[in-house]
Amino acid sequence: MGEAGSLIIEGSEINIDADGTIMVDGSMAGKLKIVSFARPDLLTRGAAGRFIDDGSAEQKKSDTDRVSGGYLETSNVNAMKEMVEMIDVNRSFEAYQKIIQTMSELDKISTNRLGKLA
């Protein structure tokens, strides 16, 4: 989204400056709307990692944030920690599965013994 609305960019050479200015084939095509929110907790999570502001999050122009082109963002997930948690959850699942199988076998044994007594 640009400062003046939606941006439609057509061209072969596209550059975006740190302040969000978009240059297409050497001429200015627009400027990205860079904002921050006073209440980011009021943003609604949308699809594909997007957030939606219904107006209650108090949007304000950001003078400190910058755009960096040609860089990759790092993940906000600690892969090792998540892997350990996944293994832990899997082990818990297997343990509960074994408990359920044992209880089922005990039910069968007790049913057979009651049948023999009758």
**Residue 82, pLDDT above cutoff 70:** yes
10-34 residue pLDDT tens: 878 888 888 888 888 888 888 888 8
Task: Check residue 105 and give its pLDDT.
Answer: 96
**Residue 55, pLDDT above cutoff 80:** no
Domain boundaries, the chain: 14-61, 75-118
Chain mean position to CA 52: 14
Please give the average per-residue pLDDT across 69-87, as a whole number: 89
103's tokens: 């209880």
- Phi, psi (5° rounding) for residue 22? -105, 120
| CA-closest candidate to residue 42, choices 33, 51, 30 | 51
pTM of the entire predicted model: 0.47
Task: Check residue 3 and give its pLDDT.
Answer: 66
Q: How far is 22 from 102, CA to CA, in rounded Å?
A: 66
Which of helix, strand or coil describes residue 40? helix
